[in-house]
A and B are shown apart, each in its own frame.
Chain A
Amino acid sequence: MALLYGLLWRLLLFLVHINRALVSWLRVRLRSWKGRLWERAMAALLLPVALAGVPDPQRKVNQDPDANANPVTGNRNAGRRSRWLSDGRSLEKLPVHIGLLVAEEEPSYTDIANLAVWCMAVGISYVSVYDNHGIFQKNNSRLLEEIVRQQDLMGVDGSKCNVEFLSQGSDKHQHHVVSCRPSVKVLSPEDGKQSIVQAAQQLCRSVENRERSSRDISVSMLDMLLRESKSVPDPELVVKFGPVDSTLGFLPWHIRLTEFISLPSHRDISYEDLLGVLRRFGSCQQRLGQ
């Protein structure tokens, strides 16, 4: 009997996996189909222009790395930029701080860089990138380069964005420059529970030195220590990529009221996917215990 149940369980799991694969495959197909339709419509519109001898800008964007040099694509970029901004404004609410949680085996730097750039373009001020292996933190310069490259490619003014990489611990506080410019932070598991432990140690040390009594320790005191600056709020939204349904140690203290929205993968992610998530976030209401 146990064997039969075991077999049935395996079959059930297999069916669920098939179901998942099918859904994600359909999603990709649907998107590429939509994309092709769009491309055709664009081509039809641009046909007279193309006949007049101007090179097709559609191709250029993807192939020409020096996109800004071309006046046609430059205009296109400007159009895109203003579209991103107006998309951001059209949403009912926009997070000030967004977390990108990658719960997949092999991270793609280009896609995460794209996401970070789009987030900043729609008007999100703080972007935190996290994976539980700390891969992004170990290779933070690579991610930084990629972000700068994508910014150039998309025609977003790079100087407007401030990319900083937090390593753990003491230099955290000196690192932060008070600014209203958007910034990207790379987090690893050390910034999670370990940072709470460090704050606890700091408080205990001050108790050890008789500077403070244990009774004085409060939630807001701990919160002050764990917040690297007053201007950075807790992330209101975390977008989780990948098949694992867990926070995998993402900043436990800071996700008290964070909304979690999952996407199947960050690979080949499109701007529309991100916008969809932001729309979903915009429609969420919080009651704060009331």
Chain B
Amino acid sequence: MSWIREGELNLIEKISANILKAGPMPKHVAFIMDGNRRFARKKQMERQEGHMQGFNKLAETLRWCKHLNIQEVTVYAFSIENFKRSQNEVDGLMVLAKQKFEKLLEERENLEKHGVCIRVLGDLNMLPLDLQQLIAKAVVSTKMHNKCFLNVCFAYTSRYEITNAVREMAWGVEQGQIKASDVSEALLSECLYSNNSPNPDLLIRTSGEVRLSDFLLWQTSHSCLVFQSVLWPEYSFWNLCEAILQYQLNHTSIQKARDLHREHQAFVQLEADRACVAEHLQHHGNGKPADARRRQEALQHYATCREERIHDFLEALQNRRDSYYTDLLSDAVVA
């Protein structure tokens, strides 16, 4: 089965989609595709078959999202915790992933036509090398596409992602690119695997579980959470519509909460800058209290310098991430 499904919605679906689109639509939807194994058990099929059906459902869901003008989708494909499953199942999932990424590379032209950019979020080092190389190929070859985005979380947990972001910032401090006092909420967000995406507007979990299971904890702090009882392979267009409707009902209040949070974030940043400037003036101000104008100038100067530092650091970080992929690819060529 391929990644991209062609085909239009039927008439009723199209009308419903248009009605929904008259309201505020989520731009980025995240899915926890739960229930593949329960589905397999229910239908008395092999576990692996359940995972296959789950993938097919993903391709179908992407088609619906395209018709609903949802440009970005993030899915939880494989958690670091999933390595704890039986060796048999883990191997099966790795084989499935390999097949799917190979298939994806075959469909490159089609991906280009639809402008699909694929990103993989997680610690790829935990995966077998051949899978890493396939992923690198897929990511690099679709990097420039910009119509729709599919983020696949693989070997991912949110706590690991946050920890990794802290590690990256500490690396920046080690290199002397940033100071420890530059660490802020905004900078941490920029160091996550998801740095190139806006935060999801809507998170959908299927199969009736009501927890996040270490998925996008940071990014979904002001997202609409929808828990649905249907098993993932049985997910339908109408389930998706229901979730979007729920998002629309929540839209105003969540937007308000987001604005409040943004205001607060700006306030915290200003306070932090102020503290740094005050310390600086105390050390270099010859003990004389600075007047208000001078302090204001110093504050502005400090903020500009901080932004420059952070900009340079983020650029270096992006280069480091890019070179990880190119190294993998050149290794593959040599091999």
Residue B288, interface by CB 8 Å = no
B-contact bits for A16-42, CB 8 A (1 contact / 0 none): 110000000000000000000000000
Using Cβ atoms and an 8 Å threshold, which residues of chain A touch B169? 200, 204
The answer to whether B174 touches A245, judged by C-beta atoms less than 8 angstroms apart, is no
The answer to whether A205 touches B180, judged by C-beta atoms less than 8 angstroms apart, is yes
Q: A194-B185, A197-B188, A246-B223 are in contact. Are A288 and B260 (CB under 8 A)?
A: no
A-contact bits for B65-96, CB 8 A (1 contact / 0 none): 00000000000000111101100000000000
Q: A9-B19, A217-B163 are in contact. Are A204 and B188 (CB under 8 A)?
A: no
Interchain CB contact (< 8 A) of B181 among A10, A201, A221, A260: A201
Q: A252-B218, A258-B211 are in contact. Are A215 and B167 (CB under 8 A)?
A: yes
Using Cβ atoms and an 8 Å threshold, which residues of chain B touch A8? 19, 22
Nearest B-chain residue to A240, judged by Cβ = B225
Most buried by B among A213, A223, A249: A249
Residue A13, interface by CB 8 Å = yes
Using Cβ atoms and an 8 Å threshold, which residues of chain B touch A201? 180-181, 183
- Report the minimal beta-carbon distance from A24 to chain B, rounded to whole angstroms: 14
Residue B285, interface by CB 8 Å = no
Nearest B-chain residue to A11, judged by Cβ = B19
Q: What is the bound-complex CA distance between A12 and B225, given in angstroms?
A: 21
In the complex, the number of residue pairs spanning A and B with C-beta atoms less than 8 Å apart equals 166
A-contact bits for B286-326, CB 8 A (1 contact / 0 none): 00000000000000000000000000000000000000000
Using Cβ atoms and an 8 Å threshold, which residues of chain A touch B5? none
Interchain CB contact (< 8 A) of B211 among A10, A12, A260: A260
The answer to whether B249 touches A13, judged by C-beta atoms less than 8 angstroms apart, is yes
- Report the minimal beta-carbon distance from B46 to chain A, rounded to whole angstroms: 18
Using Cβ atoms and an 8 Å threshold, which residues of chain A touch B179? 208
Q: A200-B166, A257-B214 are in contact. Are A247 and B180 (CB under 8 A)?
A: no
Using Cβ atoms and an 8 Å threshold, which residues of chain B touch A213? 174
Residue A248, interface by CB 8 Å = yes
Using Cβ atoms and an 8 Å threshold, which residues of chain B touch A253? 159, 162, 217
Residue A179, interface by CB 8 Å = no
Chain A interface bracket (under 10, 10 to 19, 20 to 34, 35 or more): 35 or more
B-contact bits for A233-271, CB 8 A (1 contact / 0 none): 000000000011111111011011111110000000000
The answer to whether A289 touches B257, judged by C-beta atoms less than 8 angstroms apart, is no
Interchain CB contact (< 8 A) of A2 among B22, B85, B157, B171: B22
- Report the minimal beta-carbon distance from B80 to chain A, rounded to whole angstroms: 8
Residue B246, interface by CB 8 Å = yes
Within 8 A of A (CB), among B148-171: 157-160, 162-163, 165-171
The answer to whether A207 touches B174, judged by C-beta atoms less than 8 angstroms apart, is yes
Residue B248, interface by CB 8 Å = yes
Using Cβ atoms and an 8 Å threshold, which residues of chain A touch B209? 284
Q: What is the bound-complex CA distance between A189 and B254, given in angstroms?
A: 15
- Report the minimal beta-carbon distance from A73 to chain B, rounded to whole angstroms: 39
- Report the minimal beta-carbon distance from B39 to chain A, rounded to whole angstroms: 15
Residue A133, interface by CB 8 Å = yes
Residue A219, interface by CB 8 Å = yes
Q: A12-B19, A214-B171, A259-B210 are in contact. Are A204 and B180 (CB under 8 A)?
A: yes
Q: A5-B21, A193-B218, A218-B163 are in contact. Are A261 and B171 (CB under 8 A)?
A: no
Using Cβ atoms and an 8 Å threshold, which residues of chain A touch B40? none
Using Cβ atoms and an 8 Å threshold, which residues of chain B touch A103? 253
Q: A192-B221, A256-B217 are in contact. Are A203 and B19 (CB under 8 A)?
A: no
Nearest A-chain residue to B249, judged by Cβ = A16
- Report the minimal beta-carbon distance from A240 to chain B, rounded to whole angstroms: 9
The answer to whether B159 touches A132, judged by C-beta atoms less than 8 angstroms apart, is no
The answer to whether A260 touches B227, judged by C-beta atoms less than 8 angstroms apart, is yes
The answer to whether A132 touches B180, judged by C-beta atoms less than 8 angstroms apart, is no
- Report the minimal beta-carbon distance from A260 to chain B, rounded to whole angstroms: 5
- Report the minimal beta-carbon distance from A284 to chain B, rounded to whole angstroms: 7
Residue B33, interface by CB 8 Å = no
- Report the minimal beta-carbon distance from B309 to chain A, rounded to whole angstroms: 13
Residue A222, interface by CB 8 Å = yes
Residue B110, interface by CB 8 Å = no
The answer to whether B261 touches A290, judged by C-beta atoms less than 8 angstroms apart, is no
- Report the minimal beta-carbon distance from A238 to chain B, rounded to whole angstroms: 9
The answer to whether A248 touches B221, judged by C-beta atoms less than 8 angstroms apart, is yes
Q: What is the bound-complex CA distance between A13 and B81, given in angstroms?
A: 40
Within 8 A of B (CB), among A146-195: 189, 192-194
- Report the minimal beta-carbon distance from A266 to chain B, rounded to whole angstroms: 16
The answer to whether A289 touches B19, judged by C-beta atoms less than 8 angstroms apart, is no
Q: A246-B257, A290-B84 are in contact. Are A284 and B210 (CB under 8 A)?
A: yes
Most buried by A among B167, B218, B250: B167
The answer to whether A247 touches B225, judged by C-beta atoms less than 8 angstroms apart, is yes
The answer to whether B22 touches A6, judged by C-beta atoms less than 8 angstroms apart, is yes
Residue B282, interface by CB 8 Å = no
Please, could you name 15 A-B residue pairs with CB atoms under 8 Å apart, sorted by A? Answer: A9-B20, A9-B23, A12-B19, A13-B249, A103-B253, A196-B218, A197-B183, A200-B166, A204-B169, A205-B180, A207-B180, A212-B170, A214-B173, A248-B222, A286-B211
The 6 closest A-B pairs by CB, nearest first: A289-B81, A214-B170, A9-B22, A204-B180, A205-B180, A6-B22
With A200-B169, A214-B167 known, 16 other A-B pairs at CB within 8 A are: A9-B23, A13-B245, A193-B218, A203-B170, A204-B170, A208-B179, A214-B173, A217-B163, A222-B159, A222-B163, A222-B166, A244-B257, A245-B226, A256-B157, A258-B212, A261-B210
User: Chain A interface (Cβ within 8 Å of chain B)?
Assistant: 1-2, 5-6, 8-10, 12-13, 16-17, 103, 132-133, 189, 192-194, 196-197, 199-201, 203-205, 207-208, 212-215, 217-219, 221-223, 243-250, 252-253, 255-261, 284, 286, 288-290
